[in-house]
Amino acid sequence: MAQYTLSHLETAACLWEAILELRDRPTTDPDAIARALVMRKSFDALGTSALRYVVVNWVDALEAAWAASEDDYPLSFDWDFVPRWIVETIDWSDPRNPVIREKTPASSAVEEVQTLAGPVGSTPACASYRDHLALLARARAALETPDDLDAAALAALIEDIGVCEDALSLSSLPWPIDIHAAAIEHRHGTNLHVAVDGASLDAEIAAFCREWWSEIGDERDSEGLDDGEVIAAYFDRHPSESYIKDRVRLVPASHLQTVVAETIEQGRYCVLSTAHLTVQTARLLDEWAAWPPTERPIDIAASVYGWFVPTRLPGQAQQARLPDDLLKLMAFGRERAFRFLLLDCDGDSAEALPVHDW
């Protein structure tokens, strides 16, 4: 009969906690969201009790990976190593049989962290912004402590610098970058705005709102409000104008083949608690999800625990059929550049939104 120590029990608890966190609170990057949806299929197919028994059998493999890595791993076991190990090690492709992949990435988790510090020859030079920073760190370290490099390490560093020089000489954009974009719809047409970060984009949108502030009948001085308040007040009160924000990735030609081969269409959504809806609105969403698409006032899809709802406003006639609490949630998502909301009974609550007890 197998004997388990307190350490085994703690590892099992950390595993289960990390799995629930990855399932219920994925980050907004597409890989994390896709993984969360696949994990939920395993919960649905096996049931929570059966899946717990599967997870318990991973304890020994996880502890072996940690034993091989803990001396060099700079972050925590429970909050970083365990979820990273799950992401890199567990194959969820068969919902009824999530398994450990044949190759255990125990060392790869350490190597990823070490890459930032710059081990020689660890990643291709200039493949990404992070790789470029790592290359600069290696070059600085070589200048500060030249005696630490042997001839092979120095040759590898020189070669990587040359690769990066070539990439920079061929394109002003050597790696993919994210930009922030917005479109403002108004009676004269559409204004397009692009910025390098969210705050700069908000400043541009707020400048438009301040220019036309008199149209919403708000007696406050818009100059005394911050950009977020100005944007929210203007578009909430204006009868016909709207805006939408998004984050767009610009990809240089040298990366296009890889991107086309390895990615699919992507979007951004956030997960919010269904408690931000009234019970009456929740019933409406259930009804609309069952209607033919052409008859719904808004595109909607039911999930296992709630609904997917777009943040983009429909036409005026459809808007008039949407309850105020739903409109506030959609505005919340648009202001933060989300294209969709996943309203989930286990989702987090946002302080900026009202909570309904039902």
DSSP annotation string for 195-206: ESSHHHHHHHHH
Cβ atoms 231, 166 nearer than 8 A:
no
pLDDT interval class at 33 (50, 70, 90):
confident
Q: How far apart are CA 88 and CA 312, in angstroms?
A: 35
Q: pLDDT per residue over 74-129, tens digit each?
A: 777 888 889 999 999 999 988 888 888 865 443 333 333 333 333 333 344 566 77
pLDDT interval class at 136 (50, 70, 90):
confident
Q: How far apart are CA 64 and CA 70, in angstroms?
A: 10
Cβ atoms 118, 138 nearer than 8 A:
yes
DSSP 274: G
Q: What angle do CA 11, 12, 17 make, to 5 degrees?
A: 100
Provide the residue ranges of all domains of the chain, joining segments of one domain with +.
6-110, 118-170, 177-262, 269-344
The DSSP bridge pattern shows strands 269-273 and 90-91 to be unpaired
Q: What share of the chain is helix, strand, coil (3-state, %, to 5)?
A: 55, 15, 30
Nearest 5°: phi and psi at 201? -65, -45
Q: Among 33-42, 66-75, 159-168, 231-240, which range has the highest average pLDDT?
A: 231-240
The residue type found at 7 is: S
Q: pLDDT per residue over 125-135, tens digit each?
A: 566 777 777 78
